[in-house]
Amino acid sequence: MTSTPLTNASSSLTTAIGDDRPTGPLAGRVAIVTGASSGIGAATARRLAVGGAHVALLGRREDRLTDLADELRATATGALLPVAVDVTDPEALDTAARAIASALGPVDLVVANAGAMLGAPFEAARTDEWDRMIDVNLRGLLHTARAFTDGLLSAAADGRPADLVHVGSVAGHALFPNWSVYCATKAAVAHLTRNLRAELGPRGVRVKNVEPGVTVTELGADMHDADLRTSLARMRTDLRPLAAEDIAEAIAFAVSVPPHVNIADMVVVPVQQG
């Protein structure tokens, strides 16, 4: 898959100034959010922008990113930069990282949210769907973290907050028949987070895993198995599910605590999910 190159970065951002700019813990931070074209990614980008952060919105659907940036510019006090990029392409991510730093400044907040959720009975599943989940949920997350780790370490060395947020899933430690490979990718995210926390935490980077439960997003809408699509829709209506904005609030809280505090793991589920 090819990625749209980042061009005319300076013309794509707007910085609003005024006496009403936020002064809270998100104000002035430079954030990137992957999977920002919909769902949790879009909601998180919106929440960080409202809090005063400069936000680079990363995703594959350039039109949606541009529309979201245009929407947010009406109220955001920070800069907004839509960046069309495929997180499974490490060279494209590195190019994007350099352009974002040039346009917005050093990144100190990374939300690795891009994901794919494709279910099917193990013996009947399409292996191309397995590959896609491994590519996006694991390789894409790895490449995202690698592209911005130097910037996070630099921010921490300067005494500023530095956050690497992985958006995992309760599926990483729960049993969901017919979702085995998806669960495996999220279990890998959970253990990767723990190890990166041990590696980067002593150098000042707060690495955390936010694990949503049943949440209404576009995830799963494109999976091949029609029965699992129906089952997923029923799961989201049999209880009061979370909205993407609920997860965005949790992420904003986790990165807004005092710099010496790390909310390392956060499980966010509907009350009825237990």
Question: 72: Cβ–Cβ under 8 A, 6 or more apart, which residues?
Answer: 45, 46, 49, 55, 80
Side chain identity, residue 175: L
Other CB atoms within a 10 A radius of the CB of residue 129 amount to 20
DSSP states of 108-154 as a string?
-EEEE---------TTT--HHHHHHHIIIIIIIHHHHHHHHHHHHHH
Q: Mark whether 51 is an active-site residue.
A: no
Q: Are 151 and 161 in contact (CB under 8 A)?
A: no
Question: 246: Cβ–Cβ under 8 A, 6 or more apart, which residues?
Answer: 215, 268
Side chain identity, residue 101: A
How many helices (H) and strands (E) the chain has is answered by 8, 9
Task: Give Cα 274 distance to the centre of its chain.
Answer: 24
Q: Which stretch of DSSP H or E encloses residue 168? A: none
109-112 and 163-167 as β-strands: parallel, antiparallel, unpaired?
Answer: parallel
The one catalytic residue in 182, 189, 208, 250 is 182
State how far the Cα of 56 lies from the Cα of 35, in Å rounded to an integer: 11
Task: Give Cα 178 distance to the centre of its chain.
Answer: 25
Q: Are 153 and 200 in contact (CB under 8 A)?
A: yes
Catalytic residues: 182
